[in-house]
Amino acid sequence: MQNKYLISIVGPTAIGKTSKSIALAKYFSSEIISADSRQFFKEMKIGTAVPSTEELAAVKHHFIQHISIEKNYSVGVFERDVIKKINQLFEENDFLFLVGGSGLYTKAINKGLNEFPKVDPAIREKLNLQVDVEGLIPLQKKLAELDPEYAKKVDLENPQRVIRALEICLGSNHNYSYYLNKPSKKRNFSSLKIGLTAPREIIYKRIEQRVDIMIQEGLLEEAQKLYSFKNLNALNTVGYKEIFAYLDGEFSLDFAIEEIKKNTRRFAKRQLTWYRKDSDIKWFEYDCSTEEIINYIKQKTTSR
């Protein structure tokens, strides 16, 4: 499939990836594959900023709200499922759009997942127990000590990611970054990466506005319905864990909302750190015209 192009639209949360990708997909008569790992789950709509009904109807979307929070859906399974879907869609399309702010998931599709050695399961069991007893902070510090490169770009608030990296550090001869930096897999399509960005103060303002809209649209009520599932990995994420802390009496509602904004800003900073390391990304300002990106895509895909 030499003339097939997977165009990734990346950038920090709340930057406008959804609206821009829909405009692009409509122009190229294409479809969208979501690489937002928070939007996979059927029960999580408001807190993950799932595209609206109108947006989903404007262009065909895949891998949005397609599984339950009770299902363990790994990035490896995602890679397998998406590559299969891409091969099917390329039979009818020359362009496809991969959209989302989950850097690892975007990387898995464009370059493949890294192969890690098997380690003693007892290491993970010990780390899980340590989280339960001591909390996540000691593990975050340990990861920063053993693999400072990965600690700077991973979501340190995600215990599953921290534990996964630590078990490799502790159970193999190398740190986690060593395996991440190995050569990528060959794909039978061409990749083009487009990033949306903005000055930090604008990103933060857009994040705060989005959180306010989530609250208005019923994030509290959504979290209340999911409260009995709060220990699932899918719900251990920004937006839900702060509301759960409010429901547990640990936070006031106003404080929980401010924590969501603060933690989302931190998340956006980590996203940018991840993507800035990828020299293949062509960056555009968040408010650039769709025509500017269309012209770039045409230039890159017709010059080969």
Q: How far apart are CA 189 and CA 87, in angstroms?
A: 9
Which distant-in-sequence residues (6+ apart) come within 8 Å of 103 by Cβ? 10, 153, 271, 274, 275
Among 267, 135, 116, CA closest to 203: 267
Q: Where residue 299 falls among pLDDT bands split at 50, 70, 90?
A: very high
Report pLDDT for 303.
59
Among 39, 48, 21, CA closest to 222: 48
Q: Where residue 72 falls among pLDDT bands split at 50, 70, 90?
A: confident
Amino acid (1-letter code) at residue 101: G
Residue span(s) of the chain under CATH 1.10.20.140 come to 121-180
pLDDT, tens only, 204-218: 999 999 999 999 999
* Sign of the alpha-carbon dihedral angle for 200, 203, 204, 205: positive
pLDDT, tens only, 234-292: 999 999 999 999 999 999 999 999 999 999 999 999 999 889 989 999 999 999 999 99
Q: Which segments of the chain does DSSP mark as H helices, in order?
A: 17-27, 53-58, 75-89, 103-111, 121-134, 137-146, 148-151, 159-171, 176-180, 200-217, 219-226, 241-247, 253-276, 290-302
Q: Where residue 157 falls among pLDDT bands split at 50, 70, 90?
A: confident
How many degrees, rounded to 5, is the angle at CA 108 between CA 285 and CA 91?
Answer: 90
Q: Residue 186, Cβ neighbours under 10 Å: how many?
A: 7
Q: Residue 57, Cβ neighbours under 10 Å: how many?
A: 10
pLDDT, tens only, 32-51: 999 999 999 999 999 999 99
For residue 12, what are its two tokens?
């920090």
Give DSSP secondary structure letters for 158-182: -HHHHHHHHHHHHHSSS-HHHHHTS
Among 122, 111, 154, 120, CA closest to 136: 154
Which distant-in-sequence residues (6+ apart) come within 8 Å of 242 by Cβ? 251, 256, 257, 259, 260, 263
- 3-state SS class at 149: helix
Among 158, 67, 144, CA closest to 104: 158
Contact indicator for 48, 101 with CB cutoff of 8 Å:
no
Instruction: Looking at the structure, give the CATH architecture of the domain made up of residues 121-180.
Output: Orthogonal Bundle (1.10)
- 3-state SS class at 75: helix
Residue span(s) of the chain under CATH 3.40.50.300 come to 5-114+182-302
Residue range 5-114+182-302 in CATH 3.60.10.10: no
Q: How far apart are CA 231 and CA 88, in angstroms?
A: 36
pTM of the predicted model as reported, rounded to 2 decimal places: 0.83
